């Protein structure tokens, strides 16, 4: 009797496992089986929106399922992130976010911290290099000139940002802390007004991503003194990095990535990650990214998790040292 009972338990367990495997495989194979919504947590026209639309275009073309981009701006991106965090964890609602949303704002805003805990990383997409930029009228011709100029007149010079807690805020704060400078922060509501004032010489410097400043640099209206990346960029190969000269070890990257609601099945996450890798080898996609000054960046889920952890710690230290808050 005991032998029969053990045999029945074994048979039941085995059958359950066997029945489960095909169903699981079938569900992953069937994904996606309905419309996919990609949330861009900022208004149309920005870099995040562009990346979201590239992903939507590629997924729809590859998988044949409808993919839409939904812009949900507000609260520095938190509204869009929270919308995805609350969605069904089935891979049909995704978020395209950037370094500021996922590694800076969680240390400044409790509601973003809570949203981030309910999101899971899928894949990196691209890195958008930033540059230390001054007006063409600035007496600073090199990054060493700029540092010397600011050091000689503490509190006189200003840097602009796209708002508190943005990469355009914490990147200059890191620059300020590493170079031991006294320079004033002038926050704007986005990059547009900031660049207008930089062009007019009403602020003295910014650290901004390529799309907002490259055309002005090429037209001679702005001057790029350094790149914040580890290596020089293809767009401005003659511009040195901060790391190679003025501030050894300096690196600040604006990466973009896809996130899904926490609890999304790992095979679905891996399927998405694999497709992003294929997408970023497509010459058409590469050309569109390069046209915006973006560098394709595909990493595994584990690598994105490690990047998120490292950058969160890095920017938290900058936030604490600079006494940065968001009212």
Same domain, 36 and 65: yes
- Which residues of the chain fall short of a pLDDT of 70? 1-27
Are 258 and 215 found together in one domain?
Answer: no
Looking at the structure, do residues 105 and 174 belong to the same domain, yes or no? no
| Residue 304 resides in a domain | yes
Which of the listed residues 227, 244, 268 is the one where a domain comes to its end?
A: 227
User: Are 277 and 307 found together in one domain?
Assistant: yes
Report the domain count for the chain: 2
The CATH number for 181's domain is 3.40.190.10
If asked whether residues 186 and 122 sit together in one domain, one would say no
State yes or no: cis peptide before 64, omega within 30 of 0: no
Q: For residue range 15-57, list pLDDT tens digits in order.
A: 444 445 444 444 677 899 999 999 999 888 888 999 999 999 9
B/e letters for 309-320, b = 16+ CB within 10 Å, e = fewer, are eebbebbeebbe
Which pLDDT tens digit goes with each residue over 181-196? 999 999 998 888 999 9
**Cβ-proximal residues to 65 (8 Å cutoff; 6+ apart), any chain:** 32, 33, 34, 35, 36, 59
Give the tokens for residue 238. Answer: 């003659």
pLDDT on residue 76: 85
List the domain range (segments joined by +) for residue 51: 31-128+254-322
Query: For residue 15, is it within any domain?
Result: no
Tell me the C-alpha distance between 310 and 11, whole Å.
47
Task: Tally helices (H) and strands (E) across the chain.
Answer: 12, 11
Q: Give domain status of residue 61, yes or no.
A: yes
User: Given this model, what pLDDT does residue 2 score?
Assistant: 47
Task: Decide the pairing of beta strands 36-40 and 67-71.
Answer: parallel
Closest by Cα among 135, 139, 207, 156 to 178: 207
CATH number, residue 92: 3.40.190.150
Q: How far apart are CA 110 and CA 105, in angstroms?
A: 9
d(CA 103, CA 299): 17
In a domain, 117, yes or no: yes
- For 271-293, the pLDDT digits (tens) are 999 999 999 999 999 999 998 88
As a whole number of angstroms, the distance between CA 244 and CA 230 comes to 8
* The predicted structure's pLDDT at residue 30: 84
CB within 8 Å of 75: residues ≥ 6 apart: 109, 111
Any domain includes 248: no
Q: Do 119 and 182 share a structural domain?
A: no
Question: Considering the domain boundaries, does residue 180 fall inside one?
Answer: yes
The per-residue pLDDT for 45 is 82
Separation CA 184–CA 144 (nearest Å): 19
Residues 57, 89, single domain; the answer is yes
Q: Are 222 and 198 in contact (CB under 8 A)?
A: yes
């Amino acid at each position: 009797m005991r032998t029969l009972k053990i045999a029945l338990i074994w048979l039941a367990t085995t059958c359950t496992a066997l029945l489960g495997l095909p169903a699981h495989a079938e569900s992953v194979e069937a994904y996606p089986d309905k419309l996919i919504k990609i949330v861009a947590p900022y208004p149309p026209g920005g870099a995040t929106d562009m990346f979201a639309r590239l992903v939507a275009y590629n997924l729809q073309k590859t998988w044949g399922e409808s993919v839409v981009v939904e812009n949900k701006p507000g609260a520095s991106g938190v509204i869009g992130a929270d919308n995805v965090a609350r969605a069904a964890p089935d891979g049909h609602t995704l978020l395209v976010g950037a370094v500021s949303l996922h590694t800076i704002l969680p240390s400044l805003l409790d509601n973003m911290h809570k949203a981030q805990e309910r999101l899971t990383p899928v894949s990196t997409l691209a890195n958008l290099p930033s540059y230390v930029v001054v007006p063409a009228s600035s007496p600073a011709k090199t990054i060493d000139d700029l540092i010397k100029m600011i050091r000689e007149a503490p509190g006189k010079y200003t840097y602009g940002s796209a708002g508190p807690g943005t990469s355009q805020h914490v990147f200059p704060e890191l620059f300020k802390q590493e170079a031991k400078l006294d320079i004033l922060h002038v926050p704007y509501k986005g990059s547009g007004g900031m660049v207008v004032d930089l062009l007019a010489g009403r602020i003295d410097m910014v650290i901004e991503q390529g799309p907002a400043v490259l055309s002005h640099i090429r037209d001679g209206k702005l001057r790029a003194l350094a790149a914040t990346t580890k290596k020089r960029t293809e767009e401005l190969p003659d511009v040195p990095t901060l790391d190679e000269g003025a501030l050894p070890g300096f690196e600040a990257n604006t990466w973009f990535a896809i996130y899904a609601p926490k609890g999304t099945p790992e095979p679905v996450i891996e399927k998405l990650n694999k497709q992003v890798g294929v997408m970023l080898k497509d010459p058409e996609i590469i050309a569109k990214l390069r046209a915006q000054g973006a560098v394709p960046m595909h990493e595994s889920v584990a690598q994105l998790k490690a990047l998120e952890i490292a950058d969160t710690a890095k920017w938290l230290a900058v936030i604490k040292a600079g006494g940065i808050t968001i009212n």
